[in-house]
Amino acid sequence: MDDTFYFSEQNLAVRDTVREFARDHVAPVAAKLDAEGKFLWENVRRMGELGLLGVPWPEELGGAGLDITSYIIAIHEMAKVDASHAITISAHTTLGTSPIVKFGNDEQRHRYVPLLASGKVLGGFGLTEPSAGSDAGGTRTRAEKRGDRYVLNGSKIFITHGGVGEIFVVTAVTDATRGTKGISSFILTKPTTDLDSARAVGVGHDESLPAMKGFRAGKKEDKLGWRSSDTRELVFEDVEVPEENLLGREGEGFTNFMQTLDSGRIGIGALSLGIAEGAYEEALKYASIRKQFGKPIADFQGIQFQLSDMATEIEAGRHLVFHAAWLAQHGKPFGKEAAMAKLFCSELAMRATTKAVQIHGGYGYTKDYPVERMMRDAKICEIGEGTSEIQRLVIGRHILREVAG
Ligand code: COS
C-alpha cells in the first residue's frame, strides 16, 4: 500500500509525529513498563501536548480537529512500538470520550470533552460486567430514579483506565421490563487512584470534577499483556448521579454503546495491525543479521516464506482497516467492515507475533527482544471490544441482512 497515494499530507504528518514520539519516549521504556506493570503519566502528558488524546474532536472542544484516518493512524503507529500506549489513546478517545461527543448534549460536551481531549484527565467506558461480557445486554447494574437523581448499584469489570481515569460513561438498567431498551447510560466522575503521581506530572486530575460518593475503582488486573495499561473493576454503591448526567435519553444506552463499539473496532483493528507490523519489522531485521549455517537466516526459503506470508497479510489488513476508517470518515455505514478489520487483524496479530518469535528462535522467547511482549499483547485483541466470535456473529448478521435486502 503506497501511503502517499492513500493518505493526505496531514495524515502523514500525524504518522511522523507519532513515529518520532514512539521512538524517543516509548521504545526505550516499553519493556520496563511491561515488566513492572507501570502506567506512565509522563507519557500521558506528552501525548496530551501532542494532541494525541483528542485527535478527531473539534478544536472548539479542545481536540486536534483532525480526521478519523489521522486518529486511526495514531493508534496504528503507536502499536507498532507498544500496544499499551496505543490502547490508552484508543480506549480514552473512542470508548471514554466519543459517547459524550456523539450522544451528549451541548452542556455535557462543553463540560467534559475539553478535559478529556486535552489529556487533562483520562476517560473510560463501563459496559462489561461479570455476567455481561459478550452478552452486553445482560447488564445487572441498576439505576433507580429518585427525584432529580439516579442511584446506581452494581459493578463493571475489565475497565481500561478504571483506576487512573476520572470521567466514565457507564450503562445501567433503568427499566428491567424492557430488555436492552431498558438500559441507559450515564456520565460518572471520581478522582484518579494515582493522585500523587498525577499531581506530580500535572495531568490526570481535575479539581472541578465531583468525587461521586460510592463510586470507586476496585481490583487492578494482573494481565498477560497490555501490562502498562490500567485495567480495573468499577464499583457503584448507592452512587447518587444527578439527572443531568444521563447521557442521551433513557433506554438509549445499549444502542449508543453498540455504536461506540462499532467505531472502537476500527481502532482495535489498527492496534492489532500495528502489533503485527511491529513484530514483522523485528523479524525481518533479525532474520537479516542472524547467521546460521554460514549465512543470514533470511537467505533460507523457510524463513522467506514466513516473512512473505506476514507481509501479505499485513497488506490485506491495512486495506481492511483504512477502508473501514474511510467509510466512517465519509459518514457511510461501516459496522460490517469494522468487525471484519478487527477480526482479521486481531487474528493476524497472533499469527504474525507467533511467527516472529519462531524466527527469533530461543532469543524470541526471552525478554531480550520485544517479540515475546508483542505476542502477549496480541492475544487480548482477539478478546477485548468484542471477541472474534462476536465479530463473526456481527459480520454474519450484516451478510444475512444484505441477502434479505
Ligand atoms: N448499532 C446500533 N444499534 C444496534 C447495534 C449497533 N451496532 N447492535 C445492536 N443494535 C440494536 C438493535 O438494532 C436492537 O434494536 P431493535 O430491537 O430496535 O432492532 C437492539 O440494539 C438489540 O440488539 P440485538 O437484539 O442484536 O442484541 P443482542 O442481545 O442479540 O446482542 C450483540 C447483540 C451480540 C452484537 C451485542 O451484545 C454485542 O456486541 N456484544 C459484544 C459486546 C462487546 O463487544 N463487549 C466488549 C467489551 S466493551 S469494551
| DSSP-derived 3-state class of residue 186 | strand
Residue to mutate (ligand 1; options 173, 255, 263, 385; most atoms within 8 A of CB): 255
φ and ψ of 359, to 5 deg: -65, -35
Residue 220, strand partner residues: 232
Output the residue whose Cα is nearest ligand 1's atom 13. Answer: 255
- Say if residue 2's pLDDT is above 90: no
**Which protein residues touch ligand 1 with a CB less than 6 Å away?**
127-128, 134-137, 180, 254-255, 258-259, 261-262, 335, 385-386, 390, 393-394
Q: Judge contact between 70 and 51, C-beta under 8 A.
A: no
If you measure from the C-alpha of residue 335 to the centroid of ligand 1, how many angstroms do you get, rounded to a whole number? 11
Per-residue confidence at 5, pLDDT binned at 50, 70, 90? confident
Question: Each residue of 159-169: b (16+ CB within 10 Å) or e?
Answer: bbbbbbbbbbb
Q: What rounded mean pLDDT belongs to the chain?
A: 97
Quick: pLDDT tens for 233-257. Answer: 999 999 999 999 999 999 999 999 9
Report which of 113, 124, 5, 26 is spatially closest to residue 65, judged by C-alpha positions.
113
365 vs 359: CA distance, rounded Å: 10
Q: Judge contact between 246 and 186, C-beta under 8 A.
A: yes
Report which of 374, 326, 337, 327 is spatially closest to residue 353, judged by C-alpha positions.
374
**CATH 1.10.540.10 is right for the domain spanning 3-117:** yes
Residue to mutate (ligand 1; options 160, 180, 380; most atoms within 8 A of CB): 180
If you measure from the C-alpha of residue 386 to the centroid of ligand 1, how many angstroms do you get, rounded to a whole number? 11
Provide DSSP, 38-81: ---HHHHHHHHHTTTTSTTS-GGGTS----HHHHHHHHHHHHHH
Q: Is the dihedral of CA 246, 136, 101, 78 positive or negative?
A: positive
Return the pLDDT at 277.
98
If you measure from the C-alpha of residue 156 to the centroid of ligand 1, how many angstroms do you get, rounded to a whole number? 18
133 CA closest ligand 1 atom index? 45
Domain at 123-251, CATH homologous superfamily: Butyryl-CoA Dehydrogenase, subunit A, domain 2 (2.40.110.10)
Q: Of 244, 385, 389, 402, which is the active-site residue?
A: 385
- Say if residue 221's pLDDT is above 90: yes
Return the pLDDT at 257.
97
135 CA closest ligand 1 atom index? 37
Per-residue confidence at 3, pLDDT binned at 50, 70, 90? confident
Residue to mutate (ligand 1; options 257, 258, 392; most atoms within 8 A of CB): 258
Mean local confidence (pLDDT), 196-204: 95
103 vs 112: CA distance, rounded Å: 13
| pTM, full prediction | 0.97
List of residues 6+ apart from 204 with CB closer than 8 A? 41, 44, 120, 121, 122, 164, 166, 192, 194, 195, 197, 198
Return the pLDDT at 44.
98
- Say if residue 141's pLDDT is above 90: yes
Map out the domains of the chain as residue ranges: 3-117, 123-251, 255-404
Q: Is 313 a catalytic residue?
A: no
202 vs 121: CA distance, rounded Å: 10
192 vs 196: CA distance, rounded Å: 9
Residue 239, strand partner residues: 152
Q: Judge contact between 31 and 367, C-beta under 8 A.
A: yes
- What is the CATH number assigned to the segment(s) 255-404? 1.20.140.10
- Say if residue 272's pLDDT is above 80: yes
- Say if residue 345's pLDDT is above 90: yes
